[in-house]
Amino acid sequence: MIRIACYPKCFEYEIGLHHTMTVYDWIAMARAELPAEGLEMYERFLPSTDRGEVERLRDAIREAGFAMPMFIASPDLAQPDASARQRAVEHQAAMMRVAAQLGGPGVVCRVLSGQCRPEVSREQGVEWVVECILQLVPLARELDVVLGMENHYKDSQWLYPEFALRMDVFLEIVDGVAGRLGPADRGRFGVQYDPSNAIIAGDDPLELLEAVAGQVVSMHASDRALRPGVTREQLAQAEGALGYAPLLQHGVVGQGMNDYDRIFAALKQAGYHGWVSIEDGLNGMEDMRRSLAFLEGMRAKHFG
């Protein structure tokens, strides 16, 4: 049986950038209004990575009745400078330790490829990203953490979209890492599947899911799409600007371009039993409640 977590996409900037809300405000709101089983956390939500502060956050999540199954980290592993890549690896390692402290054994810590800089070739970028992720696997084993490689669009503080946004590049990296893991480490790396990001990339989310079905360790549920009248060519022209392109919009899960009926059927067929985290739109808690109700219905239909 899958379980459902919530991520406050609607409050991401308020908590993680502008600091007009705290992560504790979000936990209190979720406790009062959302009957989910877990809360997903983001590295920019942390007041501090001090051990005592992380323990305080962990305790607040637990006392509110939630698990913390998924942690969002955003390493930039495709940087041309070797020392910058190594710093990104070290930062990801620090976030893995935070994830383990917050979520306990088996927690999924997101890993990314990094930004798609114009001067970095596909071949070189893939090589760098694979090598960086492989450096992190021994720590994942030590901490009992799972690295979840997301088919991601763009971190809110990046200039360029994800290096591995396109399905073919993403699969090349996933296969490159998985193919070099020994039997003891194969459970330490997998895919954090996001169907909406596949749509933004111009790929078929069900085709991607079919390609990685046995490797999915966590999932984001959203219904992000291009705003009416916007083309993918216009989205590409927005590269080089900080953050998410305003040409994109999030919406209530189940009311966008994703066929969640077929997605959940495919997850069931693949034997998936992990977490699905709601990444809802920008219209507050009412949309989050509607997304949660929709996913609960999908879970009941396909998983019993």
Q: What is the block-wise mean pLDDT of the chain (304 residues), using blocks of 10 residues?
A: 95 95 98 98 97 98 99 98 99 99 99 98 99 99 99 92 97 99 96 93 94 98 74 62 57 90 98 95 86 98 96
What pLDDT was estimated at residue 242?
Answer: 45
Distance CA 229, CA 298 (A): 30
| Structural domain boundaries enclosing 283 | 3-303
What pLDDT was estimated at residue 246?
Answer: 62
What pLDDT was estimated at residue 237?
Answer: 61
**CATH number of the domain that residue 66 is part of:** 3.20.20.150
Q: Whole-prediction pTM value? A: 0.93
Length of the chain: 304
**Among candidate residues 53, 64, 54, the one with its CA nearest the CA of residue 26:** 64
236 Cβ neighbours under 8 A, 6+ residues apart: none
One-letter amino acid at 1 equals M
**Among candidate residues 70, 57, 63, the one with its CA nearest the CA of residue 4:** 70
One-letter amino acid at 258 equals N
Neighbours of 169 (CB within 10 A): 20
What pLDDT was estimated at residue 134?
Answer: 99
What pLDDT was estimated at residue 228?
Answer: 66
Number of domains in the chain: 1
Distance CA 72, CA 45 (A): 10
Distance CA 107, CA 41 (A): 11
**Spatial contact of 61 and 39, defined as CB atoms under 8 Å apart:** yes
